[in-house]
Amino acid sequence: MNESVLKLNTHDPRDDHLLEEILSGLNQEQKELPCKLFYDKKGSELFDKITALPEYYPTRTEIEIIESNIEEISACIGKNSLLVELGSGSSIKIRLLLGGLKEISAYVPLDISYSHLIESTNALSKDFKQIKIIPLCVDYTKPFTFPDFDFEWGKIVVFYPGSTIGNFHPAYARKFLGNVAKRTGKGSGLLIGADLKKDKSVIENAYNDSRGVTAEFNLNILYRLNSEIGFNFDTDKWEHSAVYNEKEGRIEMHLVSLTAQNVSHNGTRIFFEKDESIITEYSYKYSLDEFEDLIKDYYRVQKVWVDSNRRFSLQYLSVI
Ligand code: AVJ
């Protein structure tokens, strides 16, 4: 077994209150389910398929930005840094980064899923034998402390790719990034991917692909609620919908009820009108100015890289 896996915090911090969260979301006026429910094994596979779709530009574009600017990115990260990734790096992005960086002190992936963390750590450590990898099993949205590392490092640089920040309401995103800044300290870095505002049709097509993979990804939530939580959703009576709300600057993913119907859980019934929807995800898009405004209380923008179509941005921010 890989030695670094032994250093894992073996407590799986997955939310014990998931059922309460689900039920309270389904009791709201506008019903809602947490988007973290997407990512079981099936959902993660579907997400990987999404990232390869011709319409889904974010992943491909961010990879292209990293590839074309690796020297500058590497210079921002600097030598001897502790590279901390929010979410464990199973993706090609962290591989590109680790392959292009000057000596870093260690790579520290944080992930809520213990098994995901072990898998990606094992895979990465085979290919990057010279890099110290210290996986930590934590819910990075909750307060946590880094262990006392028995080696020196220059500064902490947090890597937060994929425009995952776009899944939070802006007010929460601001608070969350503020907490990251407080935890890492003045002078630390944040290398973050943020999807940009652009033509509505480009955005909507990315979430309504012609092969229906995103629809399958969205509906997978209902299969999970049935098999893991004990709901009885009739999955044939639900439809995927994704619309760009221009005023709010966000994609809204919904599951739409095709008929009036009841769904029950443990004797509790939840009623849905025909055409009523459950919101499963927001994906906020920012202009560069809006994004700077979001982070300016905690960070200074040091560098912004965008693709030639100005669809996506990768930014290096430093904690002030
Ligand atoms: C990469 C997780 C931020 O909002 O684009 C893709 C997930 N949802 N298609 C995004 C997603 C539907 C996604 N994140």
Does the beta carbon of 61 sit less than 6 angstroms from any atom of ligand 1?
no
By alpha-carbon position, which residue is closest to atom 10 of ligand 1? 283
pLDDT band (50, 70, 90) for residue 2: very low
CA of 73 to the centre of ligand 1 (A): 24
- Does some domain include residue 251? yes
DSSP 160-173: E-TTGGGGS-HHHH
Residues 308, 243, single domain; the answer is no
The Cβ of residue 176 has, within 10 Å, a number of other Cβ atoms equal to 17
pLDDT digits (tens, 9 = 90+) for 151-165: 999 999 999 999 999
The answer as to whether 109 is a domain residue is: yes
Q: What's the CA gap between 307 and 51, in Å, rounded? A: 17
Do 217 and 70 sit in the same domain of this protein?
Answer: no
Nearest atom in ligand 1 to 58's CA: 5
- Asked if residue 78 and residue 36 are part of one domain, the reply reads no
- 22 in any annotated domain: no
| Range(s) of the domain holding residue 152 | 56-199+286-319
Q: Find the mean pLDDT for residues 203-208.
A: 98
Q: Could you tell me the CA-to-CA distances from 110 to 3, 76, 188 in Å, in that order?
A: 17, 21, 17
Q: Which atom of ligand 1 is nearest to the CA of 51?
A: 6
Atom of ligand 1 nearest to the CA of 281: 8
Both 158 and 212 in one domain: the answer is: no
Do 112 and 235 belong to one domain? no
Answer yes or no: is 275 within a domain.
Answer: yes
Strands 82-86 and 106-111 turn out to be parallel
Let me know whether 302 and 181 are in one domain. yes
1 in any annotated domain: no
Of the candidates 39, 5, 217, 42, which has an alpha carbon nearest to the alpha carbon of residue 120? 5
pLDDT the model gives residue 18: 83
- Assess whether the C-beta atom of 44 lies below 6 angstroms from ligand 1: no
Question: Taking the model in full, what pTM does it have?
Answer: 0.93
Among 48, 167, 211, which residue has the most ligand 1 atoms within 8 Å of its CB, making it the best to mutate? 167
Residues β-bridged to residue 257? 238
Q: Is 135 in the pocket of ligand 1 (CB under 6 A)?
A: no
b/e code 184-212 from CB counts within 10 Å (16+ = b): beeebbbbbbbbbbbeeeebebbbbbeee
Do 133 and 34 reside in the same domain of the chain?
no
Amino acid at 32: E
The pLDDT of 292-306, averaged and rounded, is 98
241 lies in the same domain as 100:
no
- Nearest CA owner, ligand 1 atom 4: 283
In percent, the amount of the chain with pLDDT more than 90 equals: 80
| Residue 257 covered by a domain | yes
**pLDDT recorded at residue 5:** 47
User: Does residue 8 register a pLDDT over 70?
Assistant: no
pLDDT number for residue 16: 56
Q: Are residues 39 and 116 in the same domain?
A: no
Q: Is the CB of 107 under 6 A from ligand 1?
A: no
Tens of pLDDT, residues 58-75:
999 999 999 999 999 999
Pocket test for ligand 1, best of 221, 281, 285 (most atoms within 8 A of CB): 281
Taking alpha carbons only, the member of 210, 260, 266, 252 closest to residue 234 is 260
* Ligand 1 touching residue 167 (CB < 6 A): yes
Q: Does residue 34 sit in the same domain as residue 162?
A: no
User: Has residue 137 been placed in a domain?
Assistant: yes
Provide the CATH number for the domain around residue 155.
3.40.50.150
From the CB of 91, is ligand 1 less than 6 Å away?
A: no
Q: Is 20 within the bounds of a domain?
A: no
Indicate if the pLDDT at residue 102 is higher than 90: no
- Determine the average pLDDT of the residues in 116-132: 91
For ligand 1, whether the C-beta of 50 sits within 6 Å is yes
Measured in angstroms, how far is the CA atom of residue 189 from the centroid of ligand 1?
24
- Measured from the Cα of 195, ligand 1's closest atom is 5
Q: Which two tokens stand for residue 183?
A: 């935890």
pLDDT in tens, 211-242: 999 999 999 999 999 999 899 999 999 999 99
- One domain for residues 133 and 211: no
Mean pLDDT across the chain, nearest whole number? Answer: 92
Q: How many domains does the chain have?
A: 2
Q: 8 CA to middle of ligand 1, Å?
A: 28
Asked whether the predicted pLDDT for residue 11 surpasses 60, the reply is: no
One domain, residues 237 and 155: no
